[in-house]
Chains A and B, each alone.
Chain A
Amino acid sequence: MNNKPFDNKAWFFVLPVFILVAISAVIPLMTVVNYSVQDSFGNNQFFWAGTEWFTEVLNSDRFRDSLVRNLTFSAIILCIEIPLGIAVALAMPRKGIWVSVCLVLMALPLLIPWNVVGTIWLIFGRADIGLLGFTLAKMGIVFNYGQSWLQAWIIIILMDVWHWTSLVVLLCYSGLVAIPEAYYQAARIDGASRWKVFRYIQLPKMQRVLLIAILLRFMDSFMIYTEPFVLTGGGPGNTTTFLSIDLVKTAIGQFDLGPAAAMSLIYFLIVLLLSWVFYTVMTNYGMDAPEKREVES
């Protein structure tokens, strides 16, 4: 036993949070677990179903398709947003009045509520009044994301890139401005090319913020609901039905509480696993970054 004084009274201050979390998270989660092993036809009557719903969800093409769609979506937006974010951050000025202007412009999309983002793009894509839809129609291109799955995907990806690239930009920019001038001076003395400055100074210095950006964007896009729901409603057909949209359809649309509960638990476990990876990577590779940067600068 160590001899450090240890006062457990502090736990009383945490008690309100415990109670709040119990009511808002643990009790609903317990209820979901209870629902996932039963069947209900309403009227608060439940019948034991065992692991039937889990087997059904795991074997259902619908769930797998949504999962694959969701993973594909996350992969595509990461492949676009991360390089684009780095490029924009590199192009942003480091000094002067334009810094504030750029930062405010970059932050604007992040301030817009998600359902409004969906509505903006909904109008933007309309052929009669929307700028994008109208322009495309005038150019002779038939643009109707309500009928073409490819166009629906394109507009959802464009929307996400428009909405969230700023986050990557701001994170990368914060990494870039933290690089001391001495590194660039040394690079100039060595006669390093622009590419080598990027490859050997800027990219390694951005590594930690990039890690955070990638993980944040992955988690967010994996749980995306509002924007595609407003824009396409999961259609045409089911081609833009991501996991969360599918879940809401099952639970509230069809009122299949059992399968929906099983599905949300599986979804929850996937998110939990990813969050753990996120947390582990952050605490073991990311948390020491600010300290190191201070020491180095």
Chain B
Amino acid sequence: MNLSWMAWTQPTAIFFIVIFCLLITMSIWEKISPGGGPRVGILRFETTRGDRLFLSLLGSAFIHLAWLLFAGSNLWWAMGVSILYAGFVFSFV
């Protein structure tokens, strides 16, 4: 199968592998403790850990875009902020 039209690069491959691994981790987590750990957080409605992962990833994307817009192209800092943000989401939302 010729996949050259997809124009893979190493960074994007790593990106998707990380996303894929996150999904696998979530599946294993669900297997260990089923039900998704629902709770009502600071957003005042019920979220499961899947919702929290989605919010973390979506928020991280916007953090990276905001970093590009306001701070520059060194995205490691944005990555740091995103991880802090994800920790916040998983703890409080």
Listed in ascending order, the chain A residues whose CB lies under 8 Å from chain B are 1-2, 6, 27, 30-31, 33-35, 37-38, 40, 44, 46, 48, 50-51, 54-55, 58-59, 266, 269, 272-273, 276, 280, 284
Q: Interface readout for B49-81 with A: 1 if CB under 8 Å, 0 if not?
A: 000001100100110010011000101000000
Find out whether the CB atom of B62 lies under 8 angstroms from the CB atom of A273.
yes
Cβ of B42 under 8 Å from chain A: no
Query: In the complex where A33-B15, A37-B12, A51-B68 touch, is A276 in contact with B73 (Cβ < 8 A)?
Result: no
A61 vs B35: C-alpha distance in the bound complex, in angstroms?
46
Residues from chain A with Cβ under 8 Å of B75 in the complex: 51
Q: Can you show 11 pairs from A to B with CB atoms below 8 A apart?
A: A1-B34, A33-B15, A33-B16, A37-B9, A40-B7, A46-B7, A50-B73, A51-B73, A54-B65, A273-B62, A284-B46
Distance of A141 from chain B, by nearest CB (Å)? 44
| 7 interchain residue pairs of minimum CB distance | A34-B7, A284-B45, A58-B69, A46-B7, A31-B6, A34-B12, A55-B68
Find out whether the CB atom of A31 lies under 8 angstroms from the CB atom of B65.
no
Residues from chain B with Cβ under 8 Å of A38 in the complex: 7, 9
Distance of A256 from chain B, by nearest CB (Å)? 15
Query: In the complex where A1-B34, A284-B45 touch, is A34 in contact with B9 (Cβ < 8 A)?
Result: yes
Distance of B46 from chain A, by nearest CB (Å)? 8
Distance of B67 from chain A, by nearest CB (Å)? 10
Cβ of B4 under 8 Å from chain A: yes
Listed in ascending order, the chain B residues whose CB lies under 8 Å from chain A are 4-9, 11-12, 15-16, 34-35, 45-46, 54-55, 58, 61-62, 65, 68-69, 73, 75
Interface SS majority for chain B: helix
A58 vs B69: C-alpha distance in the bound complex, in angstroms?
6
Residue ID in chain A nearest B45 by CB atoms: A284
A280 vs B68: C-alpha distance in the bound complex, in angstroms?
28
Residue ID in chain B nearest A56 by CB atoms: B68
A40 vs B6: C-alpha distance in the bound complex, in angstroms?
12
Interface SS majority for chain A: helix
Kindly name the residue among B7, B9, B11 whose own CB sees the greatest number of chain A CB atoms within 10 A.
Answer: B7
Find out whether the CB atom of A30 lies under 8 angstroms from the CB atom of B6.
yes
Find out whether the CB atom of A276 lies under 8 angstroms from the CB atom of B54.
yes
Find out whether the CB atom of B5 lies under 8 angstroms from the CB atom of A44.
yes
A276 vs B52: C-alpha distance in the bound complex, in angstroms?
12
Residues from chain A with Cβ under 8 Å of B9 in the complex: 34, 37-38, 46, 48
Within 8 Å by CB of B58, from A50, A58, A269, lies A269
Distance of A270 from chain B, by nearest CB (Å)? 9
A201 vs B59: C-alpha distance in the bound complex, in angstroms?
39
Find out whether the CB atom of A30 lies under 8 angstroms from the CB atom of B11.
no
Distance of B45 from chain A, by nearest CB (Å)? 4
Find out whether the CB atom of A276 lies under 8 angstroms from the CB atom of B58.
yes
Distance of A171 from chain B, by nearest CB (Å)? 23
Within 8 Å by CB of B69, from A2, A31, A59, lies A59
Residues from chain B with Cβ under 8 Å of A27 in the complex: 6
Residues from chain B with Cβ under 8 Å of A37 in the complex: 9, 11-12
Residues from chain B with Cβ under 8 Å of A35 in the complex: 7
Query: In the complex where A1-B34, A280-B45 touch, is A31 in contact with B7 (Cβ < 8 A)?
Result: yes
Residues from chain A with Cβ under 8 Å of B16 in the complex: 30, 33
A276 vs B58: C-alpha distance in the bound complex, in angstroms?
10
Residue ID in chain B nearest A270 by CB atoms: B62
A144 vs B45: C-alpha distance in the bound complex, in angstroms?
51
